[in-house]
Amino acid sequence: MTAYLNQAFYVFVTLIALINPISAAAVFAALTEGRSAKDQRLIAKRATVIAAVTLIAFAFAGEALLGALGVEIGAFKIAGGLLLLKVGFNMVFTPAAHRQMANGAKSEADPESDPTVFPLAIPIITGPGALTASVALVNPTDTHNYTNGVIFVIVALLVIGINYLFMLGAEELTTRVGETGIDAVSRIVGIVIAAIAVQMVVNGVSNLTHFTMS
């Protein structure tokens, strides 16, 4: 039981850091600015459903895809860890990363278009970092354990549900926390992501070499 709780906590921390509901809410507020409250709720609901399906489907389909390509899960963890490390560095050292993300998304999207799928569901909620980590979280070891998949699905739905609530309160959140507060949280989250990335690389090396680092 303790092992399962530890696994669930690790999955929760990893996903909450990568999805980062505070930054996602700030971007959501920028993308839906000027729309009615009803439209904002509808966009948030649709984006949440699409993001959840994408994240969970990719997590389980990823291993099969890697197998077809002849790529071991250990190698994928190392590559994914290096990718996450870059994401973490960008969050720590790039000033106001969430504002740049929002401005970039708004400039690429048609002002009259629906931002539900792009850029909100993908890549704001489920970006490359979350998708990459999802495969590793479902397959933490070489042995197939269906319990890991169940834990991932439950925790993923919980985290995306939390993100949905943050998006519903996006305007109030950005007003109360402010740009400085959101920027500070993003930098702290970036440090956590960098640490998760290093651990993912270590796990990948262990999977490939069958050498346990302790």
DSSP code for 95: T
> CA 151, CA 211: separation in Å to the nearest integer?
26
Please report the pLDDT score of residue 141 as a whole number.
Answer: 65
The domain limits of the chain are 2-209
Residue 75 dihedral angles phi and psi, to the nearest 5°: -65, -40
Could you tell me which of 188, 209, 194, 213 has the C-alpha nearest to residue 82?
Answer: 194
> CA 156, CA 62: separation in Å to the nearest integer?
16
Please report the pLDDT score of residue 122 as a whole number.
Answer: 94
> Residue 212: helix, strand or coil by DSSP?
coil
Q: Three-class SS string for the chain?
A: CHHHHHHHHHHHHHHHHHHCHHHHHHHHHHHCCCCCHHHHHHHHHHHHHHHHHHHHHHHHHHHHHHHHHCCCHHHHHHHHHHHHHHHHHHHHHCCCHHHHHHHHHHHHCCCCCCCHHHHHHHHHHCCHHHHHHHHHHHCCCCCCCHHHHHHHHHHHHHHHHHHHHHHHCHHHHHHHHHHHHHHHHHHHHHHHHHHHHHHHHHHHHHHHHCCCCC
Please report the pLDDT score of residue 138 as a whole number.
Answer: 92
DSSP code for 35: S
> CA 84, CA 204: separation in Å to the nearest integer?
13
Q: Please, what are the averages of pLDDT over each run of 10 residues along the chain (214 residues)?
A: 90 95 91 92 97 96 87 91 92 70 61 84 93 90 76 97 97 86 88 94 88 63
